[in-house]
Amino acid sequence: MQIMFLLCLLTCFALSNFNVQAKVVDSFSDVKGCNQFFYKGKEPQGMDQNAKKICQTFQSEIGKEKINHIYYATLYSTFEKIPLYSAYKFDPKCSSTSSQSWHIEPQLISRTEPDHMMLEGDDKLKGKKDAIKKTQAINSDYDHTGYDRGHLYPNSFQCGEDSKATFTLTNAAPMDACFNRIHWKLWEGHLKKILKDSLRIKKDVYDSKASAYIVTGTVPGQDKIPQSRDQNLRGVTVPSHIWTAVCYEHSEDHDKSFSFGYIGINQPEFNIKLMNVSEMNKQLNQLYKTSNPSVKIFHDDCFSGKPASEEAKNQFLNRIKLPAHQRLQMSKSAQNSLLAIYDAISSDSTGPSNTPTVLGVTATFAFDSSSSHLTSTERMKRKFETSCAVTDVKKRHTSDKQKRQVSEGSESIECRLVPEKSVDGKSSADGSPCSCFEDNGYKCSTQEGKSKSCCSTPCLYQEQLKGYRCYSGKTQIECSPQYSLITAKGNRCRDDHPCATYGKDYYWCFINDKSWEYCSPPLWGSRAKDGKYCRSNYACAKYDKNDPWCYTDDKNWNSCCTSDDYFSAVNYKTCKPDHPCGYHGKAYLWCNTTDGSWNYCCKEFKK
């Protein structure tokens, strides 16, 4: 028991004396183990010769013994006040992330200062704030700027206590919040997965004969933060670009060795390009505007151009393309609004008693087709009881070649988030506004005094029924989805009267107190009988005629089918199962219909 107590005591003492060190050196080879993070022990060439070299180190104390462990190396520009790069090795066993306080580096003031990272408020740094600000970034430089303290060596690539070493401002540069939190984070995550897969022999067992060397760097830009400050002090440079280069070396089988890299523009919009290391050197030479010595990240470009490098690059490209739906694309104003909300509810300055309550949030989306809009809206309704009502349909300008390549209408759909009124009890299943409820909420009395059924679940499209249904208690009923705020002619519906059926067999809405117009129905890709898609804002319906029709462009209209399949015929008819839509020896599309006759159809069945 005494031995166990002593071990626990020593462990607690060690953790309480676990300090982060970052030693400034003349050469990375001056400190044993500091150049292990570079491929073949050789650091990148062509960077600022006046930048400071830092060995980022942990120091633990057990009794009187001090144990140092170096975790990565950094080249830091005291002029720009940002790191030019951090070099590190990938540890496949790490999978956790953590958040820590940010440190500064006293030795950038003088080599006589303490050789470990310290918090700005440390008693030993009193009276030295001005000296610190002259050589490096401090936390207040980032306040209210819209920029994140962006890790070069990601903290997610380290584990537990070790990740503390990444939380130093000598390993951080100002990154646009959307770039850092969305685009760059996504690529970091896929890089981690690819390297883990490459190193893994079997579950939780990794190849000890292989090493992954990574260098992440910055390209200094023209902008500085903060904007308003002492003119005698240089601001912190905002990088124009962030880059990462990877060198995977298998010591016994060079056919498995590979390298690649990518460069991203430090902006909200997505712009990251994948390339081989040789190409990256050329790109960085142009960005740094340097030629002598030229930029060279890895010795001999680390297998750049070899088959394994091309294969690894293609694998990465395929991975990064797969979750395209996860790539968040925002306008600048939307980003500012979202970040303003985030800042207001997470700001340390407000305090718990002053944190505001978010009473409502709305958003406007843009989709490239009616089908993508309807698909996303169905998912929103199912998961969040929220719909996205169309506010505008805009014609996309495309070339003749692009027009031939698109598979459906050339309009883009704009929509606004709205709550599902049928579920929250504000309207009946057909869209009519409710005034009071009956039958436990499954029915309501409308403003006209009519009793109508209500939805207790979202109004969703049922493929097998070719229509919209919801549940009213335990009974499935027809419903009118909340999908559009504009008419087929493009006029705005009254705010309290969006497009719906309101008890009719067509969709419509009031545009003012007296006038109403037809709405384009929420159909999933209706077609005309000549095979062309109907316009998104003029889908197949009767409108003011006896039979269904639609516009296929600004001027031309035709009879149409309400479904984009091989068995849908015009006039709401259905092709026989053994006679799908086709030419069948004629010059037009037709089929035998289930009512014992024949009719025109809209989508050719090709065997």
Residue-wise pLDDT tens digits, 167-176? 888 999 999 9
Distance CA 335, CA 341 (A): 10
Helix, strand counts (H, E) of the chain: 9, 28
Q: Once rounded to an integer, what is the mean pLDDT over residues 70-82?
A: 93
Query: Per DSSP, what are the bridge partners of residue 261?
Result: 245, 275
Q: Once rounded to an integer, what is the mean pLDDT over residues 274-286?
A: 90
- CA 457 to chain CA centroid, Å, is 30
Distance CA 297, CA 42 (A): 9
- Residue 7 gets the label, from left (phi > 0), alpha (psi -120 to 50) or beta, of alpha
Q: Once rounded to an integer, what is the mean pLDDT over residues 323-343?
A: 65
Name the nearest CA neighbour of 346 among 354, 431, 47: 354
The model's confidence at residue 320, banded by pLDDT at 50, 70 and 90, is confident
Distance CA 418, CA 364 (A): 10
Q: What percent of the chain has pLDDT over 90?
A: 41
Q: Which fold is adopted by the domain 2-326?
A: Extracellular Endonuclease; Chain A (3.40.570)
Q: Where are the domains of the chain?
A: 2-326, 331-355, 526-607
The model's confidence at residue 357, banded by pLDDT at 50, 70 and 90, is confident
pLDDT at 9 over 70: no
Q: Once rounded to an integer, what is the mean pLDDT over residues 270-285?
A: 90
Contact 378, 384 (CB under 8 A): no
CB atoms under 10 Å from CB of 348, counted, come to 6
Distance CA 603, CA 570 (A): 11
pLDDT at 328 over 70: no
Q: Once rounded to an integer, what is the mean pLDDT over residues 373-388?
A: 87
Element (H, E) at 333: helix 332-346
Least confident of 287-291, 293-297, 486-490: 287-291
Distance CA 442, CA 231 (A): 68
Distance CA 159, CA 154 (A): 11
Distance CA 557, CA 538 (A): 10
Q: What percent of the chain has pLDDT over 70?
A: 81
Radius of gyration of the chain (CA): 32
Name the nearest CA neighbour of 155 among 208, 108, 203, 91: 91
Contact 602, 589 (CB under 8 A): yes
Q: Are strands 460-462 and 467-472 parallel, antiparallel or unpaired?
A: antiparallel
CA of 258: how far to CAs of 198, 291, 475, in Å? 10, 26, 60
Is the pTM of the predicted complex or chain greater than 0.85?
Answer: no
Contact 277, 297 (CB under 8 A): yes
Contact 100, 164 (CB under 8 A): yes
Q: How many Cα atoms sit within 13 Å of 307 on the Cβ side? A: 3
The model's confidence at residue 137, banded by pLDDT at 50, 70 and 90, is confident
- Helices 185-199, 307-321: axis angle to 10 degrees equals 130
Angle in degrees, CA 254, 159, 325, rounded to 5: 75
- CA 102 to chain CA centroid, Å, is 26
Contact 565, 594 (CB under 8 A): no
| Residue 423 DSSP code | T
Angle in degrees, CA 494, 496, 501, rounded to 5: 85
Q: Once rounded to an integer, what is the mean pLDDT over residues 311-322?
A: 80
Q: Locate 380 and state its tokens.
A: 């929103």
Q: Once rounded to an integer, what is the mean pLDDT over residues 188-198?
A: 91
